[in-house]
Amino acid sequence: MRTTADVLRDREARGVALFITLEIIGLIALAAGILLFVTRAIPLSVLAIAVPALLALGGLLVLVRRGRWVGTAGVVAIVISVLATGPFVFLEWQGTDTAAAYLPKTGYPMGLILLVLTATTLQPLYPAVVTLLLTLFHGTLIFLALDDPGTMIAQLPTWQEHVMGPALHLGRVANEMAFLVGTGGIVTFSTWIARRTVLTAARLEQAAGQLSRYFSPEVAERVSTADPDFLRPGGSRRFVAVLVSDIQGFTGLSAELGPDATMRLLADYQERMTAAIFATGGSIDKYIGDGILATFGATGSLQSPCAQAVRAARAMTQALAAINAERAAAELPPIVHRIGVHAGEAMVGNVGTEERLEFTVIGDVVNLANRIEQACKTTGDAVLLSQAIVEACPDLAVARRDRPDLPGVAQPPDLFALVPAPEDVAADRSDG
């Protein structure tokens, strides 16, 4: 499974590869343009600069596409690009009678292209390196201009002499340097913001994906927008309904089917049962082998958790009927599962550490729901409800059962079998 760091590294590698590729194309075009249109250029000097740079950039591109030393390759590629294209500024100037003031006036416009291209990596290190190199390069041009005796300093407060004549206006030079540094800073900061935004969005999406594994979409949305304290270790007491289900004879069935067929059957069964639970507002606390522990009201988002748990039990019964209809068509034996439902106060919250949390329900209500499910073996019913569930849903059609002995329960509650709804009966008849 790809992590957020993997996504960012991939984006950085793609951006660096794009930057190097475009730099190779640009360097070839620049060298060809100088050879064709700059009459004073010395071909040997141009090739002496361009060819080694192209070979080095090609080698770096191979490394980046193989995913090796991406960060180092990116920085080295930037340095090579500046060192390879920067001298062309001097090639245009050499052999003329123009003072060195020409150099800072023409500047290094390709540097801004480098700055923008490195921002596509979503790694602020690269725009920062470009900004530093451009500042040093432009500073070198200014130093050479001021060191040239032929350079004149503009006398007028306006920039007319600087723009229209040979003089150098120090105010204009300072303004250009400030613009360069400011632009580089803005691009670097924007790249950092973009990286942080992508990182945050990826983490939120990953967290939402984790939540959707346990909660219905509506509940997951509520949890994801909850107070951050909700996602820290700790909990609270809350009234919840707990549903426990288990496939009858699954151990023997798995031995007959073999591992591959068993896992396919279990995946199909759990997918359909989970859909039924989510459709009624429930949450998956955990899968226990072929068993399912589901809760209703654990996040406080349900008005009637007991009624929702009963609806889930009915929906699971209908989903099992659909599975058995398919199995009957394939001349396979039916699957039988047992469901126990109970409600009461429980501890609800996160257990574990901040690095790895598990949202769960703890308390006697969970243990008793498990015992009620096991009591289905004695009563022969598919769904058993506790008295707490029946009292919360007075309109339910149920049948009282004798109070069975429940292991580990000193005072077992009254139990009631859920009378199948008409649609459940119809589904059972169609299976037969």
Each residue of 171-193: pLDDT tens digit? 777 878 888 888 888 888 888 88
What are the structure tokens assigned to 276, written together? Answer: 């039924």
Spatial contact of 121 and 74, defined as CB atoms under 8 Å apart? yes
Spatial contact of 412 and 405, defined as CB atoms under 8 Å apart? yes
CA separation for the pair 248, 267 (Å, rounded): 16
Is the C-alpha dihedral spanning 252, 254, 255, 256 positive or negative?
A: positive
Helix (H, G, I), strand (E, B) or coil at 335: coil
What number is the average pLDDT over the span 45-73?
89
Q: What is the pTM of this model?
A: 0.55
Q: Which DSSP letter does residue 1 get?
A: -
Closest residue by Cα to residue 397 from 415, 381, 414, 420: 420
What number is the average pLDDT over the span 92-117?
77
- Cα distances (Å, whole numbers) of residue 336 to 38, 249, 260, 270, 321: 87, 8, 20, 14, 9
What are the structure tokens assigned to 306, written together? Answer: 């007991």
Token match 């003031």: residue?
Answer: 101
Worst-scoring range by mean pLDDT, 73-82, 120-129, 161-170, 367-376?
161-170
Q: Give the per-residue pLDDT at 46.
A: 82
User: What stretches of 148-239 show up as alpha helix (H) in DSSP?
Assistant: 160-164, 170-214, 217-224
131's CB contacts (< 8 A; 6+ apart) are: 115, 180, 181, 183, 184, 185, 187, 188
**Per-residue model confidence as pLDDT tens digits over 128-182:** 999 999 999 889 888 888 888 888 887 766 666 666 667 777 777 787 888 888 8
The torsion angles phi and psi of 346, rounded to 5 degrees, stand at -150, 160
pLDDT for 312 beyond 80: yes
Worst-scoring range by mean pLDDT, 26-30, 102-106, 242-246, 415-419?
102-106
What mean pLDDT, rounded, does the chain reach? 82
pLDDT for 395 beyond 90: no
